[in-house]
Amino acid sequence: MTIQLKEELKTLDQKHFLHPTTSIEQQQIQGPAAIFTEGKGIYLKDLEGQSYIDGMSSLWNVNVGHGREEIAEVAKEQMATLAFSSCFASFSNEPAIRLATKIASLTPGDLNTVFFTSGGSESNDTAIKLARHYWLLKGQPERQKIISRTQSYHGVAMGATNATGIQAFRNFTNSPAPDFHYVYNQSVRDLREMIEALGPETVAAFISEPIQGAGGVNIPPEDYFKEVRNLCDEYGILFIADEVITGFGRTGKWFGMEHYGVVPDMMSFAKGVSSGYAQLGGVVISEKIHETYCQLSKGTLMHGYTYSGHALACQVGLKNIDILERELLIENAASMGEAMLAGFKALQEKYSFIGSVRTIGLLGAIELVKNRETGELFETAISPIFVQETMKRGLILRTVTYEQDTVVFAPPLILSKAELNEMLRILDETFEFVRKTIIAKE
């Protein structure tokens, strides 16, 4: 029965479902890598009843873990009462008002006013447009350029794609948008040179993830963002922090920027705000920007999604934040992150082909290298095989092979010590397998 259903779904999937960020070739040959049917805690179950640790919180987002009935209950109640009503033309609803207020209380500094979206890409498009609009209102219409970093990922809407530093996403089409520029990853000097070369009076904003996720969990040097903030202030450029992955506890603090003691002018968020229980994201803007809008904007704010301020999604967001607070999940992310790093370091001592290991909260990476001293990579990346093997052993992970050979980690923030140990045991077993079957033959 299960085999029959699986075959049927596989055929239908191949014919009718164009998957996001997927190798079409692989899907057409093999069908879906797994068809999930249930989630509970850190575990996912597939059609055949096989259980997996969701080592990536799916897409770095299921922060409170799967199968939360209390979220389902508030969602049911909200949907039955008021699933949706418009927020255009100043219409409003209580969940949106309450969630905006709650987020304003959590975000650092004077980041106090929220624009809602349905996800991270929309959030970054919104942040870019809000920054450019700010300069129009301020009478500096030439300030339209956006600077982002190489190895950054900001999503796949038009603005977000063009701000994304990982070139493969931009190469997907052949029509780049004007006014996007990419500065070498962690160099403040390069950023200054770029701003001066472009002309500071033409730059609207600099956008950066606090810790790059899809680019390989790249943790910047301690002073990087302080220097960036100073540079932006010197040239009057807006600083947008893309907290889509790092927001809502992932790094052991509410927001990634808090590690660096820096308050950006805008923060985009998504993922962890609802832990994937509803499609939700947004941008928080500073009081300075909000006041400018309030004072100078005369017509309509010509930007809004049908689902901006979606009542059901906002109610889900509120319950999700309630769980993060009540269960001390941010604190758990910090302490489990340290334990995860200790586990990675023990593996690093055991296997010579592990290069750098790093974590910040429950966001982590293990790099695979041919030569630890020189950082030389294997000719063919090992990490894709590695994650196939961990999957066979019940652990879902993800790789980054863009200029590196890295396995990345983002388990749910509810992770217990016993569950972490189980993850580490699977990693150890898989590293041993790779050592015997691949490394020994190199």
Ligand X SMILES: Cc1ncc(COP(=O)(O)O)c(C=O)c1O
The contact set with ligand X (CB under 6 A) reads 59, 119-121, 124, 153-155, 209, 213-214, 242, 244-245, 270
The distance of closest approach from Cβ of residue 279 to ligand X in the complex, given in angstroms and rounded to an integer, is 8
- The residue (of 321 and 420) whose beta carbon lies closer to ligand X is 321
- Nearer Cβ to ligand X, position 213 or 252? 213
**Residue 256 or residue 309: which is nearer to ligand X going by CB?**
256
In this structure, are residues 337 and 353 in contact, taking their beta carbons and an 8 Å threshold? Answer: no
Closest approach, Cβ 164 to ligand X, in A, equals 8
Rounded least distance, CB 320 to ligand X, Å: 15
- Which CB atom, from 66 or from 398, has the smaller least distance to ligand X? 398
Closest approach, Cβ 155 to ligand X, in A, equals 3
For residue 100, the minimal CB distance to ligand X (Å) is 19
What's the alpha-carbon Rg for the chain, to the nearest Å?
22
Query: Dihedrals φ, ψ of 419, to 5°?
Result: -70, -40
CB 119 → ligand X: shortest distance, Å?
A: 3
Q: How far apart are CA 374 and CA 251, in angstroms?
A: 29
Q: How far is the CB of 314 from ligand X (least distance, A)?
A: 16
For ligand X, give the closer residue by CB, 59 or 136: 59
Q: Least distance (Å) from ligand X to the CB of residue 99?
A: 17
Q: Which residue is nearest to ligand X (CB)?
A: 120
Q: Which residues contact 328 (CB under 8 A, 6 or more apart)?
A: none
122/389 with CB nearer ligand X: 122
| Amino acid at position 293, single letter | Y
- Distance CA(249)–CA(332), nearest Å, equals 9
- Tell me whether residue 316 or residue 377 sits nearer to ligand X (CB atom): 316
Output 164 or 383, the one with its CB closest to ligand X. Answer: 164
Q: Tell the smallest beta-carbon distance from residue 283 to ligand X (Å).
A: 12
Nearer to ligand X, 153 or 224 (CB): 153
